[in-house]
Amino acid sequence: MLSSYRQIFAAPGTLAFSSTGFISRLPISMTGIGIVTMLSQLRGSFGVAGLVSATMAVSAAILGPQVSRQVDRHGQRRVVLPATALAVAAAVGLLLCARLEAPDWTLFVFAAGMGVMPSTGAMVRARWAHLYREEGPKLHTAYSFEAVVDEACFIVGPILSVTLATAVFPEAGVLLAGVFLAVGVALFAAQRSTEPPVHPAARHVGSQVILNRGLQVLILTFVATGAIFGSVEVVTVAYAKAQHHDAASGLILALWALGSCLAGVVFGTLKLTGSMAVRFLGGVVFMAVSMLPLLLIAESVNGVGGLVAVGGALLIAGIAISPTLITAMALVERLVPAAQLTEGMTWTTTGLALGVAAGSSAGGWVIDAAGAAAGYWVPVAAGVFGVLAALAGLGRLRAGLTGEESALPPAETVDLER
């Protein structure tokens, strides 16, 4: 198993851009839950905390693809450094407003400014695609490895963010996320030798990649997936608080990411055949069904036993995440032109961000109105929506994969991932 992963790092510079990409991606998992934890303590409302976090997610959904489009047109380093500087400045403003008890509207302004945070994950995958586009097995393994890196971020990030915010001071989690972003992006941008050149067609592409019908299906489904992520984070924090074990929420959410991480490691070594579109639908169904036990446990079990049971349920639920997202990123690589790859991958992140915004805010409203246990209805509803979206768009995905049903291309037979 490990030999497959060792092969991809034979090329010079691969370990450097992947490891620095890990550092710069940690803020993705830290910022949202850090804002929720910080403001729920400082402002006393999960509703306000969820809305501020949702504002940042909506802003990222709007601005993120535009930043990535400029990356495709002008190169990674030229765009990512100024974008990061703006995001860090906005994060500092948010922290100051939270600490100085500024009016609530100021929190929303600075949270919106953080939406220019660049999508380092998409840029890392673009580097792998540049290196191994003609070597399907290696590209599959590289994408799988990055899926595991993403999940590692979601294991480490929430623990750091929640623990610091509850044990040190409320702003500590978001503060550390800003440090990771600044340092990680600076180190990543310094890896010039592996930066993919600007595609000759990138500056002359007229049509928006969002018009791709298959990509639209992925984005819509990712909205539902993001709603699951956002609502589970907010509701789990509230559920742990209701059980008088606030700091346990970070560990519980880490179990969710751990399940996904382990699934991604195994998935990256498999040689799968068949339709990627059908495989994606299967992953979405599994993800939706795995939300039901959370609702049942939260409504029937209290105390430490409830927290342990929720953690176990999330560990199992995590098994669906990496394979589903890995397959989705493989679909993006197949559906969109190479000149728009970074933008195309970022649009899936945009769908997730929109979903996180909806899920975190909806979760906060339900918690404030009906309690933490009832909040788990939100990810259940989001899962149902995701299944319906993926099922309705299955034909579009199949149509976009030219020749998939008759002759599987190398990338499919080795099972590319996110």
Per-residue model confidence as pLDDT tens digits over 20-74: 989 998 888 788 878 888 888 888 777 788 788 888 888 887 888 888 888 888 8
The identity of residue 124, as a single letter, is V
Closest CA to 129 of 62, 65, 182, 76: 76
Q: What is the CATH number of the domain that holds 286?
A: 1.20.1250.20
Residue 418 lies in a domain: no
Residues 274-314: tens digit of each pLDDT: 788 889 999 999 999 999 999 899 888 777 788 889 989 99
Residue 226 lies in a domain: yes
Residue with more model confidence, 263 or 185: 185
Show Cβ contacts of residue 132 under 8 Å, excluding neighbours closer than 6 positions: 8, 138, 139, 142
Closest CA to 412 of 46, 170, 137: 137
CB of 314 within 8 A of CB of 232?
yes
Domain that holds residue 379: 2-413
Instruction: Please state, in angstroms and rounded to a whole number, the distance separating the CA atoms of residues 62 and 375.
Output: 27
Residue 264 lies in a domain: yes
Of 350-354, 380-384, 407-411, least confident by mean pLDDT is 407-411
Instruction: Give the three-class secondary structure for 114.
Output: helix
Which residues in 205-239 are b (16+ Cβ under 10 Å) and which e? Answer: beeebeebebbbbbbbbbbbbbbbbbbbbbbbbbb
The band of 203, judged by pLDDT with boundaries at 50, 70 and 90, is low
Question: Percent of the chain scored above 90 by pLDDT?
Answer: 23
Output the pLDDT for position 62: 83
pTM of this prediction?
Answer: 0.72
CB of 363 within 8 A of CB of 231?
yes
Instruction: Please state, in angstroms and rounded to a whole number, the distance separating the CA atoms of residues 315 and 182.
Output: 31
- Residue 204: Cβ-neighbour burial (10 angstroms; 0-12, 13-18, 19+): exposed
Residue 157 lies in a domain: yes
Instruction: Please state, in angstroms and rounded to a whole number, the distance separating the CA atoms of residues 225 and 324.
Output: 10
Domain count, the chain: 1
Instruction: Please state, in angstroms and rounded to a whole number, the distance separating the CA atoms of residues 124 and 50.
Output: 29
Residue 400 lies in a domain: yes
Output the pLDDT for position 182: 95
Residue 218 lies in a domain: yes
* 210 pLDDT more than 60: yes
Of 130-139, 175-184, 188-197, 376-385, least confident by mean pLDDT is 130-139
Instruction: Please state, in angstroms and rounded to a whole number, the distance separating the CA atoms of residues 56 and 153.
Output: 19
Q: How many residues does the chain have?
A: 418
The band of 205, judged by pLDDT with boundaries at 50, 70 and 90, is low
CB of 265 within 8 A of CB of 148?
yes
- Mean pLDDT, the chain, whole residue set: 83
Output the pLDDT for position 410: 38
User: What's the mean pLDDT in 98-115?
Assistant: 91
Show Cβ contacts of residue 316 under 8 Å, excluding neighbours closer than 6 positions: 259, 290, 293
Measured between alpha carbons, how far is residue 239 from residues 5, 67, 268, 364 in Å? 38, 36, 34, 11
* 402 pLDDT more than 70: no
Output the pLDDT for position 176: 94
Output the pLDDT for position 187: 94
